[in-house]
Amino acid sequence: MKTFKGQIRGNVIVGQSGGPTAVINSSLAGVFKTAKDRGAGKVYGMLHGVQGLLEEKVVDLSEHIRSDLDIDLLKRTPSAFLGSCRYKLPEIKDDRAVYDKIFEILDKLGVEYFFYIGGNDSMDTIKKLSDYAILNGSKIRFMGVPKTIDNDLAVTDHTPGFGSAAKYIASITKEVIRDGLVYDQQNVTLIEIMGRNAGWLTGAAALATGEDCEGPDMLFLPEITFDVDAFMKKVAEIHKKKKSVVIAISEGVKVADGCYVCELTDNIDYVDAFGHRQLTGTARFLAEKISKEVGCKTRAIEFNSLQRCASHIVGRVDITEAYQVGGAAVKAAFEGETGKMVILKRVSDDPYLCVTDIYDVHKIANVEKKVPREWINEAGDYVTDEFLDYVRPLIQAELTPMMVDGLPRHLRLEDIAYKK
């Protein structure tokens, strides 16, 4: 068993993994700023996560984030500033050479603290690397920084990224509902929202309901088995009463035999490194079926990647918490913690108050948090007030983009020079 005993010089490395969010770079800013303020040596960034690290694609972030203005721009910049990946580390027992290479690179860079910003699969990476460090006597500390619009990480009250995606979904749902009333003809609109196994994002469409909007007519989450025939019957009944029908549906809804609805017509071939099949076409399939069987105009709208990159409508609560979890991860690691993930703990709903804490990543990795059944109505086609009370504080307030020439300004990683 190989050991790593090179000189530790207090350097930091941070990476981003999985699907990006509108606030993932705010967490990166939190890690960078807190590490520098606490006296870290160099703060390196992995280009395209662990996959890039294995190729020694690393940059010194101080060369790209040079001022407080850059920090503020970085917070407001969508997508993953360092680039992301969907790379799955093998089990330690299956391929120790991969781990040896990672630790050799980290040792060469003088890295003592390793931070990974991501979701469930990224926490699996932190779990494996922290375990390998213990096995090999390495002093490197590994911390997970939560991120995912899906809000499906266990233990934490919610995840940074979810609030802004929920805000976008609810806002655009209101606009789609208004648009459906333009013409004096009956129509059905289906909105397809991200969510493979958890329906947090789809449920957020119900936030559109208010004095100025009646909200979507039905919501369908992956937590409830989807019955196509029952769905068609409900649509036909509502269609008789309303000119415009708007339905929000998760991309990951499944029928009784476990088949995704989008697989009923489309052959989905792409599978990522974590075994996740690409899901798309649920709304399109159902819209075509409604058009044929109900006989009305239909539209299928896929929010797709817009849900995770719409930084022009980012929530202030969300972007602030994203920055805080990055800083909290650095603080915990510098105080000796490893193999942990920062979590958010809700203290109060009114007024809303949330604090950070840390939790054993072994009890978080590979565990999905789904919408509780009691937060979905008995019919399985809408969410309850308890769900809305949980989500509503997370979409509050706004952070205005820095506008230049009429458009939001972002921070760009330019002139990358790989540090080898």
Cβ atoms of 268 and 209 closer than 8 Å? no
**b/e code 368-380 from CB counts within 10 Å (16+ = b):** ebbbeeebbeeeb
Q: What is the dihedral of CA 74, 80, 81, 84, to 10 degrees?
A: 160
CA distances from 173 to 98, 190, 396 (A): 45, 10, 17
Question: CA-to-CA distance for 396 and 402, rounded, in angstroms?
Answer: 19
- Map residue 306 onto helix, strand or coil: helix
**15 Cβ partners below 8 Å, 6+ apart?**
45, 46, 49, 50, 52, 53, 82, 115, 116, 117
Helix (H) or strand (E) holding 408: strand 407-408
Q: Cα separations (Å) of 115 from 17, 32, 81, 242, 327?
A: 11, 10, 15, 52, 11
> Looking at the chain, how many residues does it have?
420
CA pair distance 43, 47, nearest whole angstrom: 13
Residues labelled as active-site residues: 150
The whole-angstrom separation of Cα 240 and Cα 294 is 10
H or E element at residue 387: helix 385-391
Distance CA 235, CA 251 (A): 18
Residue 47 contacts residue 418 (beta carbons within 8 Å): yes
CB neighbour list of residue 379: distance below 8 Å, 6 or more residues apart: none
Helix H or strand E segment including 218: strand 218-220
In 3D space, the residue among 258, 242, 246 whose CA is nearest the CA of residue 287 turns out to be 246
The bridge status of strand 58-60 relative to strand 187-193 is unpaired
Cβ–Cβ contacts within 10 Å for residue 160, how many?
A: 34
- Other Cβ atoms less than 10 A from the Cβ of 8: the count is 17
